[in-house]
Amino acid sequence: MEKKSNLKRRSGCPVSVSLDIFGDRWSLLIIRDMMVRGYRTFHDFLHSGEGIATNILADRLHKLEAVGMLTAEPVAGDGRSTHYRLTAKGIALAPVLLDLLIWAAHHEDTAAPCSLIAQMEQNREAILAETYRRWEQRDPTPLIPHFTAPLNPKVKPRKGRKKP
């Protein structure tokens, strides 16, 4: 179910183009979930801690698929479920996510342990390599744990589905 995205670009600047694609409060969290936590399903993303709404999640998954950041594939053995997976283009955002992680851990109060951050700064290349390896081999074990408990625990949705 791929749809072409008629994404409007505000300018040719690469930073601007990036933000045209994922410059919002949710897209990078979904990408984070896939990249470092090994999440794959709608249900996984829904319960990842920040409390995204079901309609927003569905919308972002479709948009990110449309711009080639991820793919959706039916799960063999369970006709209800879909596995979302980053494309090569999507996994290539790993350095951005890592630097974002390091920046916030240094300049804001976060749940990331200092020891872990220090380790990530020192082993930047190794961590990126491992991230890429996990993606290639479809290894779903978490690279980074789901830190603390969510500060904002909310989730309760139920039903509705599109026709297969």
- Least separation in angstroms between residue 31's CB and a copy of itself is 9
Among residues 39 and 131, whose Cβ is nearest to DNA?
39
Which tokens is 22 given? Answer: 């994922």
12 in contact with DNA (CB under 7 A)? no
Q: Please give the C-alpha separations between residue 138 and each of 45, 119, 131, 133, 155, in angstroms, as whole numbers.
A: 17, 24, 10, 8, 28
Site for a copy of itself in 128-147 (CB under 8 A): 147
Cβ 121 vs Cβ 102: under 8 Å = yes
Cβ 102 vs Cβ 120: under 8 Å = yes
Q: Which distant-in-sequence residues (6+ apart) come within 8 Å of 105 by Cβ?
A: 112, 114, 117
Site for a copy of itself in 57-76 (CB under 8 A): none
Instruction: Please report the DSSP string for 23-47 in residue order.
Output: -SSSHHHHHHHHHHS---SHHHHHT
- Least separation in angstroms between residue 42's CB and DNA is 4
Site for DNA in 39-98 (CB under 7 A): 41-43, 51-56, 58-59, 61, 72, 75, 77-83
Which tokens is 147 given? Answer: 């830190």
Among residues 13 and 75, whose Cβ is nearest to a copy of itself?
13
Contact positions vs a copy of itself (CB under 8 A): 9-21, 23-26, 28-29, 32, 49-51, 89, 92-93, 95-97, 99-112, 147-148, 150-152
Contact positions vs DNA (CB under 7 A): 24-26, 41-43, 51-56, 58-59, 61, 72, 75, 77-83, 154, 156-164
